[in-house]
Structure 1
Amino acid sequence: MTYDRLVCANCASPVSEGRCRVCRASRERLQQEEGPFGGVSPLLLVSALIVLVAALALLANQTI
């Protein structure tokens, strides 16, 4: 989940703006949890997986 769509329960502003200390703490926590694929959309990951499976299928077909 990205913090650009979250609304703070403390100040009712977007968390990405960081208006209060709760927003800033949540924004920092979410930025640390992103990891290597945090900024990549799920659609892109699924399409990359499909391309990888198709490439492996083609490779397996050529070796037979």
Structure 2
Amino acid sequence: MTYDRLVCANCAGPVAEGRCPTCRASRQRLEQQEGPFAQLNPAALVALLVILLAALALVAHQAA
């Protein structure tokens, strides 16, 4: 989950802005939990999947 869409229950501001100590703590915790694909949006992940499938199909076609 990305924190750019989260709203803080303490100050009612976006967590990404870090307006209060609660926001800053949540933002830091979420940044530490991010994986290697956290910055990619769903469209980019789908595009990567399509490219991977196309590459596998090409390898399978050349091997046959």
- What TM-score, normalized to structure 1? 0.86
Distance of 2:28 and 2:44 partners within structure 1: 25
Matched residue, 1:31: 31
Q: Any unmatched runs of 5+ in structure 1? A: none
Query: How many correspondences in the alignment?
Result: 64
- Structure 1 segments of 4 or more deviating over 2 A? none
Task: Report sequence identity in percent.
Answer: 66
Matched residue, 1:49: 49
CA shift, 1:43, in A, is 1.8
- What TM-score, normalized to structure 2? 0.86
Matched residue, 2:59: 59
Distance of 1:5 and 1:53 partners within structure 2: 31
Distance of 1:19 and 1:28 partners within structure 2: 13
